[in-house]
Amino acid sequence: MDKKIIYTGALMGMIAIIFGAFGAHALKKILTPELLATFETGVRYQMYQAFFLLLLPSFKVLSNKTKNTIYYLIVVGVVLFSGSIYGLATNYLTPFDFKTIGFITPIGGLLLIIGWGTLFFRYLKSKP
């Protein structure tokens, strides 16, 4: 399980760097400053979660079941949150109207909050 978490964190971080560079170079020329800032928010949150996943296996007080739960909350949260932000920021560049699925952004954010909250409450309940 720990290997899968680390692989996913590394891949998520790599994709965040690629998207960040894409935004800074290619999209900077075609997006408004507001849309570019929106895109960068997606990149930033994806990178935060990548770091979180890279650290998750080191939390020895957590059971594998809890790590697995946090892992899926974070991965699905990033796909919904950052993925929808990428789509919304570049909406007019694609034939699909991402505004029709914009409601998934806060769902993804909620999953990220629940993932971090799970870590917080499991540590709070753990014995020293």
pTM for the full model?
Answer: 0.92
**Could you read off the pLDDT of 65-86 as tens digits, one per residue?**
999 999 999 999 999 999 999 9
| Residue recorded with tokens 């409601």 | 103
**Could you read off the pLDDT of 24-81 as tens digits, one per residue?**
999 988 999 999 999 999 999 999 999 999 999 999 999 999 999 999 999 999 999 9
**Could you read off the pLDDT of 2-20 as tens digits, one per residue?**
899 999 999 999 999 999 9
